[in-house]
Amino acid sequence: MAATAMQFPMVIDGQRVESLSGERYEDRDPASDQVLALLPRANPADVDRAVEAATRAFNSKEWGGIAPAERGRLMLRLAQLIRANAEELARLESQDNGKPLRQARNDAQVAARYFEFYAGVADKIMGNTIPIGPGFLDYTIREPLGVSGHIVPWNYPIQITSRGVAPAVAAGNTCVVKPSSEAPLTAVRLGELAIDAGFPAGVINVVTGRGSEVGDYLVTHPGINQITFTGSVSTGQRVMELAARHVIPVQMELGGKSPNVVFADADLDLTVPAVANAIFQNAGQTCSAGSRLLVERRAHDEVVDRLRQRAQQMRLGPGIEDPDMGPMISRGQLQRVLEYIEIGKREGARVAVGGAQPDDPQLRRGYFIQPTVLDQARNEMRVAQDEIFGPVLTVIEFDDLEEAARIANQSEFGLVAGVWTRDINKALYLASRIKAGQVFVNTYGAGGGVELPFGGYKKSGFGREKGLEALAAYTQVKNVCVKFA
Ligand code: NAD
């Protein structure tokens, strides 16, 4: 174990606490396989404490009884504290997840932006009056649900925690957050900063530990009124089944196999760097990664050649040294990606670049893999259908617009799509045909996109995060009908 392993608490009821059992677990640095931090290993009794604290807070004068604008003020204070501590948060995120420091810095800014955006919304969550005829006044109120549970994956912990918690508290709910055991550090720091910002005790709780040990318990807890889950399809299905047992709403943000569709008339100087970034950012461990490149046959050779050159120039290293690409999150994830590259080869795809772990012995200690392009793939192949969740771009050629639309939609996922062309008619036609929650034209991702509704079609999930649409998940509508003389 590294002598410098950091010690972290969890945050329950406005306090930094240990687990009731006193047990801790090891959180590893993916760049070196050393122990990075020790954290409380929560068990169901700790979940009880967190849910009880969140329930008390929801019913309290200090939270349930304050004006919506005051909730907004607290959120703005938290946003300011995130910005004031952005460098520390970015360094933690980079070490914990492995992502390049500049990307983690951006993630910290986007986290602050979530609290700012929804702070402005807190006092604008309005209902309607409904004209049903003389002698009636009918109106609706949008009320919070109560205690909102947030199950967060390891790939963008600070962004995804903020993406869920900010609209939840803006609407007046209280939260219990369970970050992934693989990268929990910034979620814990966010919980601590919420205390410093003056949030009443119990409004934002963060429980650390293993999903397999406390995840089921959290979802089935009778005190939980809503779940926001971000993660894999299989865990999401389990969470849905568990939530059904006590009939609570769930918001599901699941996986993707998003197509980036490049026509021969696209501006390749703009397109190729963005296509590369869409797959290699966060070492491909991004739900909205552009992991399927559909390229018009006439442009194929040039596009793949330019991608190969970019991939060869990318510098790999520990995130904290701000390389172009960091490691996979875990040894398991590394093995999975290597297996998929072998599957791709067996299926007949050709490795245009990458395809292996780097030779550098320093990098061999961590979970690094080269940026990889699998060329000459067919959309039926597993490497074109399964979410690999690594820096592996699968390239498929097409001849015309209709074929591009058909291949883009031949997927069980539908999270994001990109279209690259100078022809506005092609762009708009494809945007109308593609079955995905977000379509980008001549851009991809829009820098965090806090304001833009985000979520899946098909197995990519349901419900929308981000933008004003997210409020639907954290409010329930009450209709009041009054008859007067
Ligand atoms: P995962 O499903 O393994 O884990 C997600 C979370 O669920 C973790 O916090 C984990 O501890 C928890 N968990 C595990 N077992 C549980 C249980 N039985 N009950 C409740 N919770 C449990 O996913 P991951 O490997 O952390 O993340 C990668 C996946 O997440 C990919 O499929 C990716 O596409 C998806 N993802 C989606 C989005 C999105 O917004 N659509 C964003 C990021 C990641």
Residue 459 belongs to a domain: no
Residue 458 belongs to a domain: no
CA distance 338 to 324: 20
Residue 89 belongs to a domain: yes
What is residue 3's predicted lDDT score, i.e. its pLDDT?
A: 57
153 alpha carbon to ligand 1 midpoint, in Å? 4
- Catalytic annotation on 402? no
What is residue 4's predicted lDDT score, i.e. its pLDDT?
A: 82
Residue 422 belongs to a domain: yes
Question: SS3 sequence, the chain?
Answer: CCCCCEECCEEECCEEECCCCCCEEEEECCCCCCEEEEEECCCHHHHHHHHHHHHHHHCCCCCCCCCHHHHHHHHHHHHHHHHHCHHHHHHHHHHHHCCCHHHHHHHHHHHHHHHHHHHCCHHHCCCCECCCCCCEEEEEEEEECCEEEEECCCCCHHHHHHHHHHHHHHCCCEEEEECCCCCCHHHHHHHHHHHHHCCCCCCEEECCCCHHHHHHHHHHCCCCCEEEEECCHHHHHHHHHHHHHCCCCEEEECCCCCEEEECCCCCHHHHHHHHHHHHHHHHHCCCCCCCEEEEEHHHHHHHHHHHHHHHHHCCECCHHHCCCECCCCCHHHHHHHHHHHHHHHHHCCEEEECCCCCCCHHHHHCCCCCCEEEECCCCCCHHHHCCCCCCEEEEEEECCHHHHHHHHHCCCEECEEEEECCCHHHHHHHHHHCCCCEEEECCCCHHHCCCCCECCEECCEECCECCHHHHHHHEEEEEEEEECC
Check 93, 116, 287, 397 and give the catalytic one: 287
- Catalytic annotation on 253? yes
Same domain, 232 and 324: no
Same domain, 403 and 304: yes
Same domain, 212 and 71: yes
Ligand 1: residue whose CA is nearest its atom 23: 231
CA distance 12 to 207: 7
Same domain, 175 and 242: yes
Q: Is the CB of 232 under 6 A from ligand 1?
A: yes
Residue 106 belongs to a domain: yes
Residue 373 belongs to a domain: yes
Total domains in the fold of the chain = 2
Residue 82 belongs to a domain: yes
Ligand 1: residue whose CA is nearest its atom 10: 211
Same domain, 182 and 308: no
Same domain, 196 and 297: no
Same domain, 183 and 82: yes
Same domain, 301 and 227: no
Residue 457 belongs to a domain: no
Q: Is the CB of 151 under 6 A from ligand 1?
A: yes
Which of 176, 235, 334, 340 has most ligand 1 atoms within 8 Å of CB, for mutation?
235
Ranges of residues in the chain with a pLDDT under 50 are: 1
What is residue 55's predicted lDDT score, i.e. its pLDDT?
A: 98
What is residue 445's predicted lDDT score, i.e. its pLDDT?
A: 87
CA distance 410 to 175: 37
What is residue 448's predicted lDDT score, i.e. its pLDDT?
A: 73
Cα pseudo-dihedral 116, 117, 123, 125, rounded to 10: -150
387 alpha carbon to ligand 1 midpoint, in Å? 13
Which CATH number belongs to the domain containing residue 352 in this structure? 3.40.309.10
Same domain, 290 and 413: yes
Same domain, 361 and 469: no
Report residue 81: phi and psi, to 5°. Answer: -70, -35
306 alpha carbon to ligand 1 midpoint, in Å? 33
Owning domain of residue 215:
6-254+464-479
Same domain, 206 and 270: no
Ligand 1: residue whose CA is nearest its atom 17: 215
Q: Is the CB of 455 under 6 A from ligand 1?
A: no
pLDDT tens across 21-67, in order?
Answer: 999 999 999 999 999 999 999 999 999 999 999 999 999 999 999 99
Which CATH number belongs to the domain containing residue 217 in this structure? 3.40.605.10
Same domain, 169 and 36: yes
Beta strands at 475-483 and 350-353: parallel, antiparallel or unpaired: unpaired
pLDDT tens across 160-183, in order?
Answer: 999 999 999 999 999 999 999 999
